[in-house]
A and B are shown apart, each in its own frame.
Chain A
Amino acid sequence: MLARATPWLFLAVPLAFLVVFTYTPVLNMLYYSLTSWDGFGPDREFVGQANYTELFARPDLFQVFFVSLFYLASGAVQMVLALYFATVLSFDVRFRNFFKGVLFFPYLINGVAIGFVFLYFFQPGGTLDSVLGLFGARGDHLWLGDPHLVNWSLASVSLWRYLGLNFVLFLGAIQSIPGEIHEAAELDGANRWHQVRHIVLPGIRPVISLSAVLVVSGSLSAFEIPYIMTGGAGGSTTFVIQTVKLAFQFNKVGLASAAAVVLLAVVLLATWIQRLIVPDEGVDLV
């Protein structure tokens, strides 16, 4: 009897945490999204799909999806750059460890500190303008104040921040490809480009597709950098900033929950599509 209960003794606390902090919130959120609850009052009037209708009908609420596109674009650039640097640094390069460390380090830096570093960087007449001045491009720009520039500026900060993680993942995957394969290919007359095209790329396919999912869900849930740097001003409000404001400033928990459900659905959809395209060979936990 005791023997049969043993695994459950080990699982009791983990399962309790899982249910309380993951599954209950998801279910509650689905329920709140159908009500007009304000977050603290006793009345939770059932309003059906009204929150969802409002969400999709109000362009000001819906535009946050377009903001994600900037982060998605920078995420794509980030993956290409990460792949390039991972390939270059997986072969013999002088000061290899130095370059590796420099590229990776931003990922470890505190998000608020990064926000401040780049607020200073993007000031009119600040670092970026001064550097551009050295190259002959004069003038001060409102990198964070101009609605046409702000999202590009913010998305480039996220590229700066996350390039290193992407790079290290690619590097690890490339280095796990056995060296003999490269040697054999070289004997057969393959040059560097052939090796990258036919050995490296197929060899790290699962990591590339994992990174793609991280980029998609990351661009949908961008929060820290834009919140710290602009507070969402000038058209830089992202989905999560909007949801946090709706829920905790305007007390529209119902509407905020509907927004969160939509976000969750989009992220799950992206993950599902990824699994369809690249079936997961690696995960077999049972």
Chain B
Amino acid sequence: MTNHAPRGVAARSAVAAKYLSLVAASAATLLPLAVVLMAALKTGPESADSGPLSPPHDWFNLHNFQVAFTQGHMLRAFGNTAFILVFSVTGTVLIGSMTAYAIDRFRFPFRKLTVSLFLLASLVPGVTTQVATFQIVNSFGLFNTRWSAIALYTGTDIVSIIIFLQFMRAIPVSLDEAARIDGASPLRIYRTVILPLLRPAIATVVIVKGVVVYNDFYIPFLYMPSPELGTVSTSLFYFKGPYGAHWEVICAGAVLVIVPTLVVFLFLQRFIYNGFTRGATK
């Protein structure tokens, strides 16, 4: 695959076209983001007068970030999102691994039916049933609490169950048997044998689920309208009203929300790619 033999003109222009397409795609991806970053660094009058492609006068003007952070209550937003994130991700890991453990390691009546129930549910897109789900969440008294989002993120995640099932198969049954002969109960086996061995699967689920929860707008918007419960998504969304004409503040808010994602991405790149390939294809 790596032949560096002399190439003809046709081969060379094919290589040029390939790089050209890659550079064009990168420009199309990065330009909208770069422009927003520049807008966030401009002062109010500057942003009104200058074109979007012109750079800011002062690359270290952080005033807009300060406004967005304090007046947009972003600290509270990050707090609410972190709270929801921790509980939903933990819940998803526990529920997914328990389900996979029960299904993979035990033979019991209605096992096939149970599996089909989980699989069938994966065909129902969450957005379609929201009208009816709303009534249920409401009847539990969860509406306008952070538990509504936690319950919904935790309760409906079939993808993670499938990921755990895939990994569970790779764990030799002889390990559980050895533990059982030593007198360990199923709960103890699950806790001390299975969960630690599922670590790669847990990493995958934490990443995939974490991205979904951090970025979701639909559920907090519908179920947690109270401003004190604003998440990163909804708090940013409410910038639209008061700062409608102040692009420099809106852009600063968007950058504030994007930066944590970028940092995590740069540090965990390899795991993130693996997470998504495993999450969706297997």
Decide if A and B are genuine partners: yes
A interface list, Cβ under 8 A from B: 4, 6-11, 13-15, 17-18, 20-26, 28-29, 32, 39, 81, 84-85, 88-89, 91-94, 97-113, 115-121, 123, 125-127, 130-131, 134, 160, 165, 168-169, 171-173, 179, 182-183, 186, 206-207, 210, 217, 221, 223-224, 228, 240, 243-244, 247-248, 253, 256-257, 260, 263-264, 267-268, 271, 282-283, 285-286
7 A-B pairs with the lowest CB-CB distances in the bound complex, closest first: A172-B277, A17-B155, A10-B102, A25-B132, A7-B106, A29-B132, A21-B155
* Cβ A112 vs Cβ B53 within 8 A: no
Stretch at the interface among B57-65, B170-178, B195-203, B214-222: B214-222
Q: Once bound together, how far apart are the Cα atoms of A223 and B216, in whole Å?
A: 11
Q: A14-B95, A221-B128 are in contact. Are A130 and B51 (CB under 8 A)?
A: yes
Bound-state CA distance A39–B135 (Å) is 8
Task: For the complex formed, measure the closest distance between the CB of A202 and the CB atoms of chain B, giving whole angstroms.
Answer: 16
B66 within 8 A of A: no
CA distance A113 to B262 in the complex (A): 13
Cβ–Cβ < 8 Å partners of A286 in chain B: 111-112, 115
Is the beta-carbon distance between B131 and A256 smaller than 8 angstroms?
A: yes
* 28 A–B contacts, CB within 8 A, in A order: A7-B111, A13-B98, A14-B98, A20-B136, A24-B136, A25-B129, A28-B132, A28-B135, A29-B131, A81-B25, A84-B21, A91-B1, A97-B269, A109-B261, A111-B215, A111-B233, A112-B217, A112-B237, A116-B253, A117-B36, A120-B52, A186-B1, A217-B125, A221-B125, A253-B131, A260-B130, A264-B124, A282-B282
The answer to whether A21 and B152 have CB atoms under 8 Å apart is yes
Mask for B206-250, Cβ within 8 A of A = 1, else 0? 000001001111100010000000001110110110000001001
Residues of A within 8 A of B186 (CB): 6, 9-10
Measured CA separation A271–B52 after assembly (Å): 43
B residues 237-282 touching A (CB-CB < 8 Å): 237, 239-240, 247, 250-251, 253-254, 257-258, 261-262, 265, 269, 272-273, 276-277, 280-282
Interchain CB contact (< 8 A) of A99 among B26, B32, B128, B129: B26
Q: Is B136 a contact partner of A11 (Cβ separation < 8 A)?
A: no
The secondary-structure label for the interface of chain B is helix
Report if A7-B165 is in contact (Cβ < 8 Å); known contacts: A13-B98, A17-B155, A110-B236: no
Does B133 lie at the interface of the complex (its beta carbon under 8 Å from any beta carbon of A)?
A: yes
How far is B67's CA from A81's CA once the two chains are assembled, in angstroms?
Answer: 39
Contact across chains for A7 and B32 when beta carbons are under 8 A apart: no
Q: Is the CB of A85 within 8 A of B273?
A: no
Closest to A259 in B: B131
Bound-complex Cα distance A74 to B281 (A): 22
Would A113 and B152 count as touching, CB distance under 8 A? no
Q: Which residues of A contact B53 (CB under 8 A)?
A: 127, 130-131, 134
Cβ-defined contact, A28 with B115, below 8 A: no
Q: A246 to chain B: closest CB distance in Å? A: 8
Q: Is the CB of A263 within 8 A of B128?
A: yes
Q: How large is the interface on B (under 10, 10 to 19, 20 to 34, 35 or more residues)?
A: 35 or more
**Chain A residues with CB below 8 A from B5, complex form:** none
Return the CB mask of B15-30 against A: 1 if under 8 Å, else 0. Answer: 0001101100110111
Residues of B within 8 A of A84 (CB): 21
Give the chain B neighbours of A183 by CB distance below 8 A: 1
Q: Are B277 and A23 in contact (CB under 8 A)?
A: no
Q: Are A103 and B215 in contact (CB under 8 A)?
A: no
CA distance A81 to B236 in the complex (A): 31
User: Given A13-B98, A26-B132, A271-B123, does the pair A120, B22 have CB atoms closer than 8 Å?
Assistant: no
Cβ-defined contact, B28 with A22, below 8 A? no
| B217 CB → nearest A CB, Å | 5
| Contacting pair A85 B281 (CB below 8 A) | no
A257 CA to B280 CA in the complex, in Å? 29
In the complex, chain B residues whose CB is within 8 Å of the CB of A103? 25-26, 29
**Is A244's CB under 8 angstroms from B26's CB?**
no
Residues on A with C-beta less than 8 A from B273 are: 100, 104, 168, 172
Indicate whether A260 sits within 8 Å of B131 (C-beta atoms), given known contacts A116-B251, A120-B251: yes
- B276 touching A165, Cβ below 8 Å: yes
Assess whether B117 is interfacial by the CB under 8 Å rule: yes
Q: A258: nearest residue on chain B (CB-CB)?
A: B131
Contact between A160 and B29 (Cβ–Cβ < 8 Å)? yes
A275 CB, min distance to chain B CBs, angstroms = 10
Q: A165-B276, A285-B115 are in contact. Are A111 and B1 (CB under 8 A)?
A: no
Distance (Å) between the CB of B140 and the closest chain A CB? 9
* Contact present for B129 and A26 (CB under 8 Å): yes
Does B99 interact with chain A (Cβ within 8 Å)?
yes
A88 to B117 alpha-carbon distance, docked (Å): 40
- Contacting residues, chain A, for B21 (C-beta < 8 A): 84-85, 88
Q: A102-B30, A113-B236 are in contact. Are A260 and B99 (CB under 8 A)?
A: no
